[in-house]
Amino acid sequence: MNIIISNAYCYLNKGDAGIIRAMVQEFKKEYPDSKIKVISLYKDLDQGKYGDCEVIDCLITPYTGKSRLMKIIRNVFLFCLIYLLNALGVPFNSTSKDIKNADIVVSCGGGYLKARNLAQFLGDFMYHYVQFITALQYRKKFVIYAQTVGTFGNEFVKSRIKNLLQKSSLILPRETISYNYLCGFIPDAKNYFHTSDIAFLLDKKEVNVNIPFQQKLKIGITMRTWHFPGEADRAGLLENYKMAVINMIKHILSNYNASIYLMPQVIGPGPDNDLLISTEVYQEFLKNDSVHLVDDNLTPEELKYLYSKMDLFIGTRMHSNIFALSEHVPCVAISYDLKTDGIMQDVGLGDYVLNIKGIKEKELIQKVDSAIHSLDSMKEILALSVPKIKDKSRLNNVLLNQLIKGKLNNGNGEALTRKTSNLSMEL
């Protein structure tokens, strides 16, 4: 069987890498003789990084210039060219040919299925959209897998996305917020089922780092240089977020016998690098041997192992929270996207989420204090919710397998559809 995993971003984003590695891990369990190819935006960086699969080039490569207008013009031109060639049955490149020869195309899990406006759709989202459309033009079974869906802020964009979703063989929203959004966006569709993020199933791997794990309360932290899209004072909002975290750490060190571990999860490509802001924060505590910076280039499985050693995790990167939660480590989440709110609600910790925009130091400290004093009860919640979440993660592949075997096809076979839908809601 030839399986294409589309829409991969970059291995340097260890959350996204964890999704791909978990998908390959689970697909190989079910289909050990399958040939899996992963379409990556950064093929050269990703080659050999996702397990037993081949990494292939994308259809539209990332634009490296600085002009947003030129990026949009270029992407639209390439999309139209690829669309025309697909219609004529002439593959644009070897990746188009691989899609044409695939038995099934599965878009990788993630949070990229959104476009706030037309510019975002024609610019950033076009890299993903062209892969979706190529699969549909070649009449492939196409699955939107463990995905956050929405929102879409333009009527033209909404119509294009709605058409895409209606033609997909299977849509698997990974949290309740996305599932409810789909129920309103396409209320009469029968091809979507509530699952969860596949990274909950990623194996962990023991690793040694040159950092002491002291006999103290161990608190892990991920940060990111968020750009606050659509906001006027982006630099001010970023500085406010950074100072809120710095002062939270000072509060923890003053009031608890604790060790702090700054753990960058994304180290590229380019300036999308958590090590930069994490190092800035670490510089504030160079004379304090209770604050540590984990700057090793670790695999997602190794990061998950380190997160599992924490007593509490304070995560801005959503998949750092998922890696920790899957090991029953309580989390306080700093949210830059509804996907974070959705995951935290689904595991029963919706009260421990703060919005990164205008985050208030006092409120952050209060949430962390509450979590530290409620670790046992939070672990009890996770002991009940995480096994159910992992069952919902496995449901992604149960449904995918049914689709491959012809037992599930856009709602055909109503008894099976109702049974699977009921299962997903019960889990």
DSSP per residue, 339-400: HHHHHHHHTT-GGGEEESTT--HHHHHHHHHHHHHTHHHHHHHHHHHHHHHHHHHHHHHHHH
CA proximity to 361, closest of 279, 245, 192, 213: 245
Range 217-329+331-373: architecture per CATH: 3-Layer(aba) Sandwich (3.40)
CATH topology match: 2-202+389-426 vs 217-329+331-373:
yes
Question: What tens digit of pLDDT does each residue of 290-308 get?
Answer: 999 999 999 999 999 999 9
Asked which of 151-160, 249-258, 382-391 is least confident by mean pLDDT, the reply is 151-160
* Cα 148–Cα 372–Cα 379 angle in degrees, nearest 5: 60
Domain residue ranges of the chain, discontinuous segments joined by +: 2-202+389-426, 217-329+331-373
Comparison of pLDDT for 42 and 408, the residue scoring more: 42
Share of the chain above pLDDT 70, in %: 95
What is the arithmetic mean of pLDDT over 71-100? 95
Check residue 66 and give its pLDDT.
87
Question: What tens digit of pLDDT does each residue of 397-407 get?
Answer: 999 988 988 87
Instruction: Please state, in angstroms and rounded to a whole number, the distance separating the CA atoms of residues 310 and 329.
Output: 7
Whether residue 11 has pLDDT greater than 90 = yes
Q: Which residue has the tokens 């476009």?
A: 115
DSSP per residue, 28-69: HHH-TT-EEEEEETTHHHHTT-SSSSEEEE-SSPPP-SS-HH
What is the arithmetic mean of pLDDT over 148-165? 90
Whether residue 414 has pLDDT greater than 80 = no
Q: Max Cα separation, the chain? A: 68
Whether residue 103 has pLDDT greater than 60 = yes
Check residue 189 and give its pLDDT.
79
1.10.3720.10, 3.60.21.10, 3.30.1490.20, 3.40.50.2000: CATH of 2-202+389-426: 3.40.50.2000
Whether residue 191 has pLDDT greater than 90 = no
3-state secondary structure of 273: strand
Check residue 197 and give its pLDDT.
93
What is the arithmetic mean of pLDDT over 226-235? 90
Query: pTM value?
Result: 0.88
Element spanning 195, H or E: none
Eight-state DSSP code of residue 255: H
Question: What tens digit of pLDDT does each residue of 62-73 get?
Answer: 998 889 999 999
